[in-house]
Chains A and B, each alone.
Chain A
Amino acid sequence: MKCNISRLIVVVLIAVLAGCSSKGGTKDDVAVEDRGTSADGGAVTSGAYGSSDFSSYSLTDPNSPLARRVIYFEYDSAEISSSDQELLVQHSGYLVANPGQHITLEGHTDERGSREYNIALGDRRAQSVERIMELNGVLPEQVTVVSYGEEKPAAEGHGDAIWRLNRRVEIVYQGQ
Chain B
Amino acid sequence: MRKLGLILLLLAVVRPAWSALTIEITQGVEGAIPIAVVPFGWSGAGTAAPENISAIVSADLNRSGRFEALPDSDLVAHPTEAGQVQFQNWRMVNVDNLVIGKIVETGQQYSVQFQLFDVFRGNQVAGYSFNVGRQDLRRVAHHISDLIYEKLTGERGAFNTQIAYVTTSGSPANKTYTLLVADSDGYNPQTILTSKEPLMSPGWSPDGSQLAYVSFENKAAQIYIQQLSTGTRRKLTSFKGINGAPSWSPDGRSLAVTLSRDGNPEIYIMDLKSNALRRLTQSAGIDTEPVWAPDGKSIVFTSDRGGSAQLYRVPASGGQAQRLTFEGNYNAGADFSPDGRKIAMVHGAGGGYRIAVLDLGSGNLRVLTDGRLDESPSFSPNGSMIIYATGEGNREVLAAVSVDGRFRQRLSLQAGNVREPVWSPFGK
Contacts and interface: CB of A to CB of B under 8 A. Distances in A.
Interface of A: 76, 104, 111-117, 119-121, 123-124, 127, 144-148, 151-153, 156-158
Contacts of B346: 113-114
Given A114-B289, A114-B375, A146 B200 contact: no
B109 interface: no
A112 B348 contact: yes
Interface string B352-379: 0100000000000000000011011000
Interface of B: 172, 198, 200-201, 216, 219-221, 240-242, 244-245, 258, 260, 264-265, 286, 288-289, 302, 304, 308-309, 330, 332-333, 346, 348, 353, 372-373, 375-376, 391, 394, 420
Contacts of B260: 120, 123, 127
Contacts of A147: 221, 241-242
B201 A116 contact: yes
A158 B286 CA distance: 25
A104 B289 CA distance: 25
A112 B330 CA distance: 10
B125 to A, nearest CB: 43
Contact of A123 (B241, B245, B304): B241
A114 B216 contact: no
Q: A-B pairs with the 5 shortest C-beta distances?
A: A114-B333, A151-B198, A120-B286, A114-B332, A120-B265
Nearest to A78: B286
Contact of B221 (A119, A157, A158): A119
10 contacts: A112-B348, A112-B373, A113-B332, A113-B348, A114-B302, A115-B375, A117-B288, A119-B265, A120-B265, A156-B394
Contact of B376 (A115, A119, A148): A115
A122 to B, nearest CB: 9
Given A123-B260, A151-B200, A114 B242 contact: no
B242 A119 contact: yes
Nearest to B264: A124
Given A76-B308, A114-B332, 7 more contacts: A113-B353, A114-B289, A116-B201, A116-B258, A124-B286, A146-B219, A152-B198
A124 B265 CA distance: 8
Given A116-B245, A153-B172, A111 B373 contact: yes
B279 to A, nearest CB: 16
Contacts of A151: 198, 200, 216
A101 to B, nearest CB: 18
Given A76-B308, A124-B286, A146-B219, A114 B376 contact: yes
Contact of B288 (A104, A111, A119, A127): A119
Given A113-B348, A116-B201, A146 B376 contact: no
Given A112-B353, A124-B286, A146-B220, A117 B302 contact: yes
Given A112-B348, A112-B353, A148-B198, A123 B172 contact: no
A116 B288 contact: yes
A75 to B, nearest CB: 10
A152 B168 CA distance: 11
B127 to A, nearest CB: 46
Contact of B289 (A76, A117, A148): A117
Contacts of B376: 114-115
A147 to B, nearest CB: 6
Contacts of B198: 148, 151-152
Nearest to A146: B220
A23 B69 CA distance: 87
A126 to B, nearest CB: 9
A104 B308 CA distance: 28
Contacts of A119: 200, 221, 242, 244-245, 258, 265, 288
B268 to A, nearest CB: 14
A126 B220 CA distance: 13
Contact of B394 (A117, A152, A157): A157
B172 A156 contact: yes
A113 B331 CA distance: 9
A158 B371 CA distance: 13
B241 A116 contact: no
A151 B375 CA distance: 14
A117 B286 CA distance: 8
A16 B29 CA distance: 71
Contacts of B241: 123, 145, 147
A116 B246 CA distance: 10
B373 A115 contact: no
Nearest to A110: B373
